[in-house]
Amino acid sequence: METKKEDLTLLGVKDAVTALKKGVCSSERLIESCLAKIKSNNGKMNGFIHVETEQATRDALQSDNRRKNGTLLSPLDGVPLAVKDNIDILGQPTTNGLGMHWIPSKDAAIVKLLRNKGMVFLGKTNMHEAALGATTDNPHHGKCFNPLLEGHTPGGSSGGSGAVVSGYLCPAALGTDTMGSVRVPAAYCGIVGFKPTKNFWSTAGVTPLSVTLDTIGPLARSVSDIAFLSGLTLKNIDIKSCNVASLENFDYADMEDEIKLGYEETKKLLLDSGVSIGQARLSDYDPSSARRAGLLVSEVEACVLLEDFRLKSQEAFSPELQTMLDFGRRAPASRYFNAIQKIQTLKRELCSIF
């Protein structure tokens, strides 16, 4: 029997799965609760820029019917999800954070995958224009704000996805990560963001920024929810069998003392658990240089990948975005090649540690 007192928007992904399984709530009620929270709270953060109320309600009812008939598509059947607005959903507008939109004729591969598991899509989330930035101060759809700190940024470029999960409008969301666009909002909003190995999920149906670096990633309020949503299994492993390395030249990282303390405490916890920690050193690693290389690669590739959109409507691109793309357009091939080489060298060095 359903409870009437519990705030269903507080449920994480795994909790929602359990509640649906035990009959604590129906998918219809869960979706209604999320939609009501969106209606009352989204105006403060501008996390959602498009909400699909009627379709989400229909999908929830279909999920409840499948549950009643014993034909569930997966444990995730009936669980709500938000989607960054550079990922196509059939029939819902995609903007890629630009001042234009189009209606996709089919789902992105990741959306199709999760739709086939029965997940219910609530709508599209705000993002930094063209995913090329880290504030989600969108000039076309309005600024997105951090639900934890009034007036502050949620980070970006998947800022809307971070905000709606942190603000309990939805238990989880999809984002994209090129140079931190899932992990930065997660850090700013106090939740968990995961950038999986490239091509873990197909990016078909995602408006590209950089073919070299683009990756789809989930955001949720716990590591276990991320693992569950990603189809991973948290297995009980012998932690002593893990290869763990500690960086010797740690001073390169400009971190707050609290973060450094957490790093050292984690090392101690592992050592106390019997884990052997080896020492590693990254030679001549400059985070600023690596970041500049990644940004150059993104700008050069974006100016090519977004050119068709720009030709259709130059007004859909802010002056700031056009300046960044012009920089990429003017960059000589030698600089692009050197940036790619720098990224590949760092990858090889990191892999050599293990």
Tokens of 151: 């007036």
Question: Which residue blocks in the chain are alpha helix, DSSP H?
Answer: 13-22, 27-45, 53-69, 109-115, 159-166, 183-189, 223-229, 257-272, 287-305, 307-312, 319-330, 333-353
DSSP letters for 261-310 = HHHHHHHHHHHHTT--EEEE--TT--HHHHHHHHHHHHHHHHHHHTHHHH
Q: Which of 9, 56, 5, 1 is nearest to 25 (CA)?
A: 1
Q: Are strands 215-220 and 172-177 parallel, antiparallel or unpaired?
A: antiparallel
Neighbours of 143 (CB within 10 A): 16
Start-to-end C-alpha separation, the chain: 52
Whether residue 63 contacts residue 120, with contact meaning beta carbons closer than 8 Å, is answered with yes
Q: Which of 253, 319, 322 is nearest to 288 (CA)?
A: 253
**Helix 53-69 with 27-45: angle, nearest 10 deg:** 160
Known catalytic residues are 84, 157, 181
Which residue do the tokens 């960054």 mark? 84
Q: Which of 163, 156, 65, 82 is nearest to 121 (CA)?
A: 82
Q: Which of 106, 69, 81 is nearest to 91 (CA)?
A: 106
CA distances from 244 to 29, 278, 287 (A): 45, 6, 21
**Rg, C-alpha atoms of the chain:** 21
Residues 6+ apart with CB under 8 A from 313: 99, 100
State the Cα–Cα distance between residues 80 and 63, nearest whole angstrom. 11
Residue type, 205: G
